[in-house]
Each structure stands twice: as structure tokens, then as C-alpha cells.
Amino acid sequence: MVRHVQLLAVAGLLMVGGVGAGRPDVAQPRDAVAPSVTSQRSGGALIERDGITASKAVHTLLDRAREAMGGRTRLSAVRSLLIDWTLIFEGQRPNPRQWRMLVPNRFAEIRAQMVYVIDGANYYQAPEPAKDAKEDARKAMTTTFTEQSLVLLLRAPSLEPVRAELKDTAAGADREVVFTRPDGSVLGIDLDASTYRPKAYYRLSSVTMNGKTTTGTRRVVIDEANQVSGIWFPKAMTMLQEGFPTPVKMAFTAIRVNEGVTAEDFRSR
């Protein structure tokens, strides 16, 4: 058992059928998505920083985005995040969940009846899944951890460093950065042309809703953001999943920076 199970009663979470209600989403390999990416050869040697390997030009752009998000110093000082959030499906009650992140290699997602935990090289789940489902769940949670680390903090977790490249865009348009994970799958982040803060992000995913599984591009548009501890975080978002006609609303209802999360939260019990 995992210590997080004890948190379920405290959080009062409700299980509502929806995207990934029975298991996390499973990312697909990169060959299913082929963005046009600017060559890095003209940018000189590649540099590794914040778990991201990229050219100097890409790092310069990411640093500009970090300043727009609250400043590199503030982002670098983040050691933990505790995020309460909800999925809101049309005609259904909100589906509350919680993320706990401890830099650089711990992450947990708490749902009404399921808990998923990454503790460095170890992975736990409660209740314990069938043996053939556990590896898929671990991969899916790693995908979510990497995705949220990049979107919220513009850094990669230590357990999964990434490569970053620029996607070709028209002059004056939003800038797109494509991050390639070790398994070859990609995550794209659109940076607003005016503010340079993240505007949307996308990746290929498989999701299950009402017994139907669909694989396609998932795009999350950040509709509203607010500042917490001097950092701009998403507040209201719209998730568009290819193959699903109805958009899904997402909301970060509470964010705590550098409080409420310890290494003990991720231990196996």
C-alpha cells in the first residue's frame, strides 16, 4: 500500500467517469507525430541545462519564457508543487484530482479510488493493478510528470531529460518548442507571441471515455492564468482530444508552492 491512500478521505475526492478514469493516459511513440522542426546544426553546440538539451538559441528563448513566467530565480527555487485540479465533462459533476510534485524525481496523482506514485526509480500504485497493466501506468505517469514539469516550470525531471527544438512558425506568430522524450514521443508548447508565457501544449495520447478508447492529438489551451508566489500558473484550461467532439474543461483550483509535500509522501507502505 502507498501512504497516499490515507489522503483520499481527507481530500474527499469523487470518482466520476471520464478521460483516463480507470488508468492514466499512455503516450505514443514519436513516429505517430512528425512536426516540422528547425535544424539545430546552425545553432552551434548543444547545451544541457534544467534537464533540457538544446542549442543556445533555444535556451535563450526558454529563458525569455521563464522571465515572463515569473523569473528564472523564482522558477529555480521551486522544490515542490501541490496542485488540486478538476476535469469537468459536459453534463457531469467535476472530477477532482491532485498532483504532488517533488523536484527532481517524485510525482504522484491522487484520484478518488486510485493513487499513482513515482518515487525516483520506483513506481507504486494503489490498489495494485494487474501485472500487465502496471508498466503502462508507470509510463503514463512519467509522461504526465514530464509534461507538467515542462509546462509549469520549463524544466525536465531528472528521471527523464529531453531534447528541445524550435518548430517552424510564421514571422510574428506564437513560438513553438518541441520537446523529445527518451522514448521518442514529443510534447509541444506554444509560447504566446506577446507575453512569451505558455499558451497551449499538445501531445499524442490514448484516452478512455465511456468505454471508448481514442488515440490522437491532445491539445490543452490555457484560457486563464494567475500568479502564485510570483509565478504565472494556468488556472482555467480547455482540453481538446482528437476523436472526441466535446471539449473538456480543466481547472487548477489550488496551488501550493514549496509547502505541503515531503519525500515521505512518496514512500511505499
Report d(CA 76, CA 233) in Å as an integer: 15
pLDDT of res. 43: 54
Q: From residue 71, give the alpha-carbon distance in Å to each of 68, 168, 229.
A: 6, 26, 11
CB atoms within 10 A of CB 148: 19
Residue 176 · residue 36 · CB < 8 Å: no
Nearest 10 degrees: Cα torsion 176, 100, 158, 130: -100
CB atoms within 10 A of CB 268: 12
Query: What is the reported pLDDT for 209?
Result: 66
Which pLDDT does position 229 carry in this prediction? 97
In the prediction, which pLDDT does 159 show? 94
Read off the pTM. 0.83
Q: List, in sequence order, every residue forming a beta bridge with 231; answer none if it has no partner.
A: 228
**Paired sense of beta strands 52-54 and 162-167, if any:** parallel
Strands 198-209 and 248-257: unpaired
The pLDDT value recorded for residue 17 is 30
Query: In the chain, which residues have pLDDT < 50?
Result: 1-42
State the Cα angle at 14 between 10 and 20, rounded to 5°: 120
DSSP string, the chain: -BTTHHHHHHHT------TTSSS--EEPPGGG----B--SGGG-S-EEETTEEE-HHHHHHHHHHHHHHT-HHHHHT--EEEEEEEEE-TTS--EEEEEEEETTTEEEEE-SS-EEEEETTEEEEESPPPHHHHHHHHHHHHHHHHHHHHHHHS---TTS-EEEEEEP--TTSPEEEEEE-TTS-EEEEEEPTTT-SEEEEEEEEEEEETTEEEEEEEEEEEEEEEEETTEEEEEEEEEEETT-SS-EEEEEEEEEESSS--GGGG-B-
N- to C-terminal Cα distance for the chain? Answer: 5
C-alpha cell at position 227: 500568479
